[in-house]
Amino acid sequence: MGENLLWVIGVLIIGVALVGVLLYFFKPKPPLKAPKVEVSLEELKRILKDRSKTFEEIERATGLFLEHFGRLSPSKEARLEVLYLVVIHPKVSSKLVLSFEKELKAKNPEDSKEIEAVLKGALDSRK
């Protein structure tokens, strides 16, 4: 009986040690954190002014503008300038313009008339 007990205890100790070694070498890796993107109003405007930027870059810039809107807290003039830059960009789509205008109006309902005026002026300047 004593030998069997000693044998069981030995197997348990070896099993626990083996599990410990396996956990040490095969522990789950922490998920990679996405790099934090520093967004500034000036940087977004620089992207929007660059006529060589692709549609995807313009779409990303407008998304970042809306996503970080609270932190950027752009003035009315800055908001309207960004809208103007988006509308006159040669690679922008009408779908992006309309969705950007809609989001801008939702965030600033008091600026609806100015937003529409800038939109109309920018569209007219594209002709």
Binned average pLDDT, 10 residues per bin, the chain of 127 residues: 79 89 79 72 94 94 92 90 95 94 93 93 85
Q: Which residues contact residue 64 at a Cβ distance below 8 angstroms, ignoring those fewer than 6 apart?
A: 37, 39, 44
Q: Would you state the pLDDT for residue 29?
A: 74
DSSP class of 93: -
Tokens linked to 124: 């007219």
d(CA 76, CA 38): 22
Q: Would you state the pLDDT for residue 3?
A: 78
**Whether 102 contacts 86, CB under 8 Å:** no
Q: Would you state the pLDDT for residue 35?
A: 63
d(CA 69, CA 123): 24
